[in-house]
Amino acid sequence: MAEANWLQYTAPTTSGMRGHLMVYPLMVKSDGSVTPRPGHETFPDVGGKVMGSNQLNIPDDLTA
């Protein structure tokens, strides 16, 4: 269901979504590295980046 909703959300015309459950647009590779889904480096509706970057003023232990 989550994958089907993601495909509808990213389609040129959004229709037929059956709820709000969607996969997060990240891929976790076998070596543990995390990347955006191919072709989806930004969110389709608002354009914000899927992956952020480390911030110098926010300690890692607050966001881990």
Mean pLDDT split into 10-residue runs, the chain, 64 residues: 88 79 90 91 85 71 56
The verdict on residue 15 lying in a domain is yes
> d(Cα 33, Cα 5) in Å, to the nearest integer?
25
Domain coverage including residue 42 = 1-47
Could you tell me if residue 40 is inside a domain? yes
Q: How many domains does the chain have?
A: 1
In this prediction, residue 59 carries a pLDDT of 66
Q: For position 62, what pLDDT does the model report?
A: 58
In a domain, 57, yes or no: no
Supply the pTM of this predicted model: 0.62
In a domain, 53, yes or no: no
Which residues pair with residue 34 across a beta bridge? 28
